[in-house]
Structure 1
Amino acid sequence: MSESDIVVFAPNPTLTVTIEEMAGVPDIHIHAGGQGAWQARMAHLLGRDVALCAVLSGESGRVIRHLLEDEGIQVRSVAGHGASSAYVHDRRAGRRDEIAAAPGEKLSRHELDELHGLVLREGLAAGVAVLSGAVRDDAVPVDMYRRLAADLRSGGCRVIADLSGERLTAAISGGLSVVKVAHNELIESGRADDDSPDELIRAMREMAAEGADAVVLTRGAKPALFLEDGEIAEIRVPELQVVDEHGAGDSLTGAVAAALSEGASLGDAVVLGVAAGANNVTRHGLGSGNVESIRRLASLVEVMPFDEEEEGAAADEQASPQDLARKARIE
């Protein structure tokens, strides 16, 4: 059993079945998916040895294991009861229509203990760990994220969390090297009142005060924001045509982990991550990409101090006359 460069905590990966259409004929794709699998796929694509730690159960769990191992991802698993998560999506109409979904089982105390020990062992050996979420909210106790973050950090592991809500708060309290979060997740969790720069930056600084060394905030089509050492930077990437935006954030996280495991600076790791996320939206495969395209995009990424006045002016240029009139009345 070889040691890995990166360990990904993926409590319950998902067996994904996606129906596309080619020349009027159904084109069916079967993959290992879910947040942790997509992160692991991108990190492995970028040349790193990745171990994915999960509970795998039933027929779907056996298939997930084989699919991940066929991709070259090392699987470190605990045998669970019931069945692992799975879904069937139909994309023939150009959107994701869910036909069926099974969220998997809530993990037992024994499974949780075994999984914690597995992640701790692998993470301390690897030096870089990614904490990802579970399909069902009650699959893993929230406090497990705090414990994993604290235990891994105490052993010198760099810990990246791509979480939201209570899971994110718990992980931050354990101490994190990097938080990756989307702006809508901050709003839904109550950390930010709206998507204004003031609110988002306030929330980023609060997370830093709580225990995050750095924060990467994605904002949909707008440039990502990056907080490190108290400074806010804006990260701009060339605008590309979107095929499927799903998995872009996970591609970003996987690429950040890959770069950090190679010894890159945090700033350079985030640049590569943003490039990987941008490349992923041009493809149908989640957590996928072209290595050469990602590295070329990274060379085109611009990092600059965030200028709120400039962003406000740009937003005004794109706003309709009705929007501007409404803003004037509010002010």
Structure 2
Amino acid sequence: MIYTVTLNPSVDYIVHVESFSLGGLNRSAYDTKYPGGKGINVSRVLNRHDVPSKVLGFVGGFTGDYIKSFLEEEKLETAFHEVKGDTRINIKLKTGDETEINGQGPAISEEDFSVFLAQFSTLKEGDIVVMAGSIPASLPQDTYEKIAEACRKQNVRVVVDISGEALLKAAEMNPLLMKPNHHELGEMFETTINSIEDAVPYGKKLIEQGAENAIVSMAGEGALLFTKDQVYYANTPKGKLVNSVGAGDSVVAGFLAGIQKQLDMTEAFRLGVASGSATAFSEELGTEELVQKLLPEVQIRAI
């Protein structure tokens, strides 16, 4: 079973305003809302690939109830820990350039986290835990390290798609997969990465430091897969960028779906890149139909 961890989920409220006036009354031309959070996105895309998963994390209040009911309608299994306070609302204002306003989320107590962490003691060898997204301000920066240690005791592999200070320790967790983008990879090694050539030596360092595999997304330039023996490059299919939110999560989900379906590593990588592109070209997370349409456009080569 794949378990996805979203420590600070949200309700993403997406508002389209044709002409925005600061300080004036603005009316939306179109609006919608979805459950947000990187781990949740991974589970939703896995579901579209017919790969089951269970969603873990913290929710509270009426917004938390919305997330649970939404995911249940999509036939996703959840095991959220309930906390006091409301799950945050993130506003995505689309009026030309996209403007985001992210809420803080509820405070999580030490007792809440202890109960949450105990869930991982019931996992079994062969399970995979996807740790993705930000750490709430009320939790310590070593939160993901504690989860990884709990998984290690159960011989459970982890996938890491995190950022900031926590990312610096990610390779030491010996993850099945890491997925930084090229900006995050540069920050890890205090450098600037602008090209495929720039990224290759630093991606190899992730493997040397303990990661089993690493995918580095290069925005419009494609993506790189690093394994213990090889480096692969994948191009990005042609299409109009509609939505960058969730594209990286979709890459992770597509790759894991390929692994679960016992595809070889390069085909899993191809499925990941097609899944990420499908989301980038969609208003919301990409559909399986669009993924299959884009799949032949993704070419993989060793470099």
Q: Same fold (TM over 0.5)?
A: yes
Aligned residues, how many? 295
Give the 3 Å change call, closer, same or farther, for CA 295–152 of structure 1 in structure 2: farther
Q: 2:59 aligns with which of 56, 59, 64?
A: 56
Aligned positions of 1:192-271 closer than 5 A: 192-271=191-270
Aligned positions of 1:283-294 closer than 5 A: 283-285=282-284, 288-294=285-291
Unaligned runs of 5+ in 2: 19-26
| Distance in 1 (alpha carbons) for counterparts of 2:236 and 2:193 | 24
Identical aligned residues as a percent: 21
User: 229-238 or 176-185, which moves further after superposition?
Assistant: 229-238
The Cα shift of 1:129 comes to 1.9
| Distance in 1 (alpha carbons) for counterparts of 2:106 and 2:166 | 18
Tell me if structure 2 keeps the 8 A contact 1:131–1:163: yes
| Distance in 1 (alpha carbons) for counterparts of 2:207 and 2:193 | 19
| Distance in 2 (alpha carbons) for counterparts of 1:54 and 1:237 | 32
Counterpart of 1:66 in structure 2 is: 69
The Cα shift of 1:78 comes to 1.0
Counterpart of 1:310 in structure 2 is: none
Give the secondary-structure state (helix, strand or coil) at the position aligned to 1:124.
coil
Unaligned runs of 5+ in 1: 307-331
Aligned positions of 1:115-134 closer than 5 A: 115-121=116-122, 123-124=123-124, 127-134=127-134
Give the 3 Å change call, closer, same or farther, for CA 47–187 of structure 1 in structure 2: same
Counterpart of 1:102 in structure 2 is: 103
| Distance in 2 (alpha carbons) for counterparts of 1:195 and 1:205 | 16
Counterpart of 1:14 in structure 2 is: 10
User: CA offsets per residue over residues 175-227 of structure 1, 9 Å max, x none?
Assistant: 11111110011223444333244542222122112110111000110021111
Tell me if structure 1 keeps the 8 A contact 2:183–2:192: no
Q: 1:300 aligns with which of 281, 297, 302?
A: 297
Give the 3 Å change call, closer, same or farther, for CA 149–140 of structure 1 in structure 2: same
Counterpart of 1:147 in structure 2 is: 146
For the pair 1:36 / 2:39, whether they are aligned, the reply is yes
User: CA offsets per residue over residues 259-302 of structure 1, 9 Å max, x none?
Assistant: 222333332222101000011111111xx222132124223321
Which letter does structure 2 place at the counterpart of 1:297? L
| Distance in 2 (alpha carbons) for counterparts of 1:110 and 1:264 | 41
The Cα shift of 1:152 comes to 2.2
Give the 3 Å change call, closer, same or farther, for CA 227–145 of structure 1 in structure 2: same
The Cα shift of 1:105 comes to 2.7
User: CA offsets per residue over residues 145-177 of structure 1, 9 Å max, x none?
Assistant: 223224324534332111123222333212111
Which letter does structure 2 place at the counterpart of 1:86? I
Tell me if structure 1 keeps the 8 A contact 2:5–2:130: yes
| Distance in 1 (alpha carbons) for counterparts of 2:73 and 2:181 | 31
For the pair 1:77 / 2:96, whether they are aligned, the reply is no
The Cα shift of 1:112 comes to 1.3
Q: TM-score, normalised by structure 1?
A: 0.81
| Distance in 2 (alpha carbons) for counterparts of 1:275 and 1:148 | 30
User: 172-181 or 258-267, which moves further after superposition?
Assistant: 258-267
| Distance in 2 (alpha carbons) for counterparts of 1:53 and 1:289 | 22
Tell me if structure 1 keeps the 8 A contact 2:174–2:211: yes
Give the secondary-structure state (helix, strand or coil) at the position aligned to 2:273.
helix
The Cα shift of 1:62 comes to 1.7
The Cα shift of 1:10 comes to 0.8
Which letter does structure 2 place at the counterpart of 1:281? A
